[in-house]
C-alpha cells in the first residue's frame, strides 16, 4: 500500500492489484470528492502505473536465453529416446483409461484443440521454469 496525500492530508491508499496496476482505495469521505482532488488521485495513480510499466518493460529488455540460435548437431548418445516416449504414451493412455473408464476417443464432447493448447501453455511454463532454475544454479 502506498499512501496518497493531497495537501498533506491522507486521502487513501494505492495498492497493486492482481493485474499489476495500482488502484486507489479512498478513506471514507461521505462519498464526495472534489474534482481537483480526483485529478490529483488520477495523476498519482498514473505516475505509479507508469513507473510499474517502465520496470516491466526494462525487465523484458534484459537478455533472454538465445532460443533462436541453432545448436550444434548431436553426437552419438547413450539412450534411444523414442522408446521411452512410446512407453510414456502407453502409460499415459492407461492412466487415462483408469481415470475416465475409456481411452481417449474422438467426438467426446470436449474441444481437443483447446485441451491441447492449454496443455502446450502449461508445457511452456514448465520449460521456462526449468530453464530459470537451471540458470539460477550457475
Q: What angle do CA 67, 69, 70 make, to 5 degrees?
A: 110
Sign of CA dihedral 83, 88, 94, 100: negative
Residue 121 pLDDT grade (very low, low, confident, very high; cuts 50, 70, 90): very high
In which band, very low, low, confident or very high, does the pLDDT at 107 lie, cut at 50, 70 and 90? very high
User: Domain-by-domain residue ranges, the chain?
Assistant: 2-60, 78-104, 108-138
pLDDT digits (tens, 9 = 90+) for 11-51: 777 777 777 777 777 776 555 666 777 787 888 888 888 88
* pLDDT tens string 51-94: 877 887 777 776 666 777 788 898 999 999 999 999 999 999 99
* Predicted pLDDT of residue 20: 72
In a 13 Å sphere around the CA of 98, the CA atoms on its Cβ side amount to 6
Mean pLDDT calculated for residue range 121-125: 94
Q: What is the 3-state secondary structure (H, E, C) of the chain?
A: CEEEEECCEEEEEEEECCCCCEEEEECCCCCCCCHHHHHHHHHHHHHHHHHHHHHHHHHHCCCCCCCCCCCCCCCCCCCCHHHHHHHHHHHHHHHHHHHHCCCCCCCCCCCHHHHHHHHHHHHHHHHHHHHHHHHHCC
Higher pLDDT, 21 or 99: 99
Sheet containing strand 22-26, edge to edge, reads 2-6, 9-16, 22-26
Residue 117's pLDDT is what? Answer: 94
Beta-strand relationship, 2-6 and 22-26: unpaired
pLDDT at 109 over 90: yes
Q: What backbone phi and psi angles, to 5 degrees, belong to 115?
A: -55, -50
Q: How many other C-beta atoms can be found within 10 angstroms of the C-beta atom of residue 131?
A: 13
Give the model's pLDDT for residue 28: 67
Amino acid at each position: 500500500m502506498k499512501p496518497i496525500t493531497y495537501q498533506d492530508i491522507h486521502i487513501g491508499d494505492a495498492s497493486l492489484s492482481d493485474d499489476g496496476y495500482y488502484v486507489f482505495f479512498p478513506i471514507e469521505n461521505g462519498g464526495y470528492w472534489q474534482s481537483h482532488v480526483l485529478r490529483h488521485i488520477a495523476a498519482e495513480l498514473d505516475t505509479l502505473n507508469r513507473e510499474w510499466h517502465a520496470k516491466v518493460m526494462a525487465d523484458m529488455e534484459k537478455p533472454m536465453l538465445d532460443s533462436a540460435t541453432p545448436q550444434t548437431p548431436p553426437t552419438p548418445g547413450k539412450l534411444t529416446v523414442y522408446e521411452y516416449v512410446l512407453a510414456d504414451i502407453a502409460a499415459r493412455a492407461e492412466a487415462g483409461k483408469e481415470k475416465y473408464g475409456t481411452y481417449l476417443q474422438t467426438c467426446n464432447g470436449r474441444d481437443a484443440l483447446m485441451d491441447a493448447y492449454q496443455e502446450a501453455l502449461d508445457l511452456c511454463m514448465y520449460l521456462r521454469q526449468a530453464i530459470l532454475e537451471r540458470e539460477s544454479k550457475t
